[in-house]
Structure 1
Amino acid sequence: MNLLSQVRIVTDSTADIPQELREKYGIEMVPLKVIFGSESYRDGVDMGPDEFYAKLVASNVLPTTSQPSPVDFLDTFKKLAEAGDGPVISLQLSSAVSGTYQSALLAKTMIDDLDVTVVDSKSASYGIGLIAVEAAQAARQGKSKEEILALIAQLRKEMRLYFLVDTLEYLQKGGRIGKAAALVGSLLNIKPILSLSDEGEVYSVEKVRGQKKAMNRILELLKQDLSGRPIQLSIAYTTGRETADELCSLISEHFEVVSVHYTHIGPVIGTHVGPGTVAAFAAPASRP
């Protein structure tokens, strides 16, 4: 097959796909920005996770985040058009939490010589990344645009994801919970479990006392939908690989895990969940 005619996958930096995977599968990434006062950094380009979390902990002010402009997407689309690539599927951060999807849609209207389909992932972090990597693998296998869009829709429907937030500080600073709730929650060692709804909105699944209980609750939630099925598992974390390993081991004890992938939650998502967060992304997998 002529590689230049294959479907190309574009996503944004909130997909938290490691650079080596993006390069391996030819996934184009359009960065969002994280802003500390007057300093602006492109997520995953000018600033990576390690530098970001060190700066986040040291800063007295919560950074802000900014979506890409339509021109940012247009530049990427033009590059693919000039290279003579085939159709493009651009998979973006949930439109319920960011205007990134709308920026990509506007960029699509600005280019005539490239077949671009913009998809609202209705997800975040490696919830987007897992789908993008699977889509890029399918593209490498010569799947058509229609086949890959069907795969994306299936993964969106079947994937389960849960974020375990270690501290309430950043949810409070970001305005998701009040100061009083954050103070009481911290005193009681409350660990929120967050997920995204079918419409891509962030919601609190449960608030559990203690990290181990919260991890066990995530396991129970995964069992409700995926028990008895082999799964592909991805674990994402902000800081503290040990916690990520613990969650991975717990899930692996109760599921037939066909593959495990780790990834670092980047600056934009990390701004809202804070250090110590871990997340599990699980989807049904074919037996090897």
Structure 2
Amino acid sequence: MTQRQCNLIIDSPAELPKSFCDANDVTVLHFSYTEADDPEGGLSGVDDMFESRSAHDFYEAMRKGAQPMTSQPSQLEFETAFRAAIESGVPTVYLAFDSGISGCYEGALTALERVREDLGKKGRHAEFYIVDTKLPSTPLNLLAWEAVRQRDNGLTAKQLADWASEAHFFIHTLFMVDDLKALAHGGRIPSGVASIGTALNIKPLLSVDLDGKLTFAGVARGRKKGLRRLAENYLKHHDPSTFMVAIGNADCQHDARTLQDLIEKGCGEALVLESNIGPTIGSHVGPAMVSCCFWGDDRRENLPVPDQIASGVKSK
């Protein structure tokens, strides 16, 4: 077997299938979830992309009232994976989960520093890059698929890290949440707003800003209108040189297929990456979320001028 240009490490919320990761030498670090208020453990487990529990079983438990919380990989898991990568002698790129909604990136930096110290000269000189992707879930899935392709097309570890650091500016994301209760439970919105939104059948549309934080992008009255908004967003903003679109769903495959049909009717062709919204994001958004992510124009150019200036300052 030909040795690859670099080791590639991702987090489980990238939602890549285990079979794909195994076939492409991608190491996965696992988040976990637990229902701390349930004395018997409740809905708890490792985010292994539904290898040990089906997506339907997970979301059905949430429909019945389960409210799991999530945790990033432990320092031990970080250190074990980083040590193995460094000792392999192959340069490494780790695409870390969104720092805008998780402390995973900071935890990884701490773990890498400790491993470098433990390994002495070999650790200090090892080529190891940690990239804050500023992306969660389906957009991270889109990035990870393409990162594997870019690596296998010859990018070095340094080139791949530089590529990934810029990539999130060109990934457009819009997703629809069916019920506001899960967001309220996680402190994302006031509980009173959740109750009103549910009563009015309002489906919130959310996105991810340049810092990786969740942001409201509007509302739709009902799921059908929401799915049309997702399709229209793709048809309006996708890069015409690529028809790749990542569609994620939280136990609502029928809606994902409807969205795909709407996109294909509008543009004639699309290369669809389908994924199940995993437990890490699912714990916070609840069942029946649908997301649509794709490559498009530089999102920095769509900012008001003062925000463009601030973005440039942050990137220096």
TM superposition score normalised by structure 2? 0.82
Aligned to 1:49: 55
Range moving further from structure 2, 107-116 or 12-21 = 107-116
Q: Distance in 2 between matches of 1:32 and 1:185?
A: 30
| SS at structure 2 position matched to 1:147 | helix
CA deviation vs aligned residue, 1:112-137 (integer Å, no higher than 9, x gap): 33422111111100211221222122
User: Post-superposition shift, 1:93?
Assistant: 1.5
Range moving further from structure 2, 97-106 or 133-142 = 133-142
Q: How does 1:126-205 map to 2 (within 5 A)?
A: 126-205=138-217
Contact 2:132–2:165 (Cα < 8 Å) also in 1: no
After TM superposition, the runs of 4+ consecutive aligned structure 1 residues lying more than 4 A away are 45-48
Q: Distance in 2 between matches of 1:149 and 1:79?
A: 19
> Once superposed, what is the RMSD of the aligned Cα atoms?
2.2
Q: Distance in 2 between matches of 1:110 and 1:56?
A: 38
User: Post-superposition shift, 1:150?
Assistant: 3.6
Q: Distance in 1 between matches of 2:217 and 2:193?
A: 16
Q: Distance in 1 between matches of 2:153 and 2:241?
A: 25
Compared CA separation, residues 222 and 56, structure 1 to 2 (3 A): same
Aligned to 1:69: 74
CA deviation vs aligned residue, 1:23-58 (integer Å, no higher than 9, x gap): 121111111110123534211165453332233223
CA deviation vs aligned residue, 1:224-272 (integer Å, no higher than 9, x gap): 4326443211111111200000111112222354521111111110011
| SS at structure 2 position matched to 1:215 | helix
Aligned to 1:106: 110
Q: Distance in 2 between matches of 1:111 and 1:179?
A: 43
User: Post-superposition shift, 1:274?
Assistant: 0.7
Aligned to 1:207: 219
CA deviation vs aligned residue, 1:161-206 (integer Å, no higher than 9, x gap): 1111111221122222223222221121101111100010001100
Contact 1:17–1:126 (Cα < 8 Å) also in 2: no
Code of the aligned partner of 1:88: T
Aligned to 1:28: 27
Structure 2 runs not aligned, ≥5 long: 117-122, 297-316
CA deviation vs aligned residue, 1:77-122 (integer Å, no higher than 9, x gap): 122233x251111111111111011111111112233422111111
Q: Distance in 2 between matches of 1:262 and 1:157?
A: 22
Identity of aligned residues (%): 28
Contact 1:25–1:137 (Cα < 8 Å) also in 2: no
Q: Distance in 1 between matches of 2:111 and 2:239?
A: 41
Contact 1:165–1:193 (Cα < 8 Å) also in 2: yes
TM superposition score normalised by structure 1? 0.90
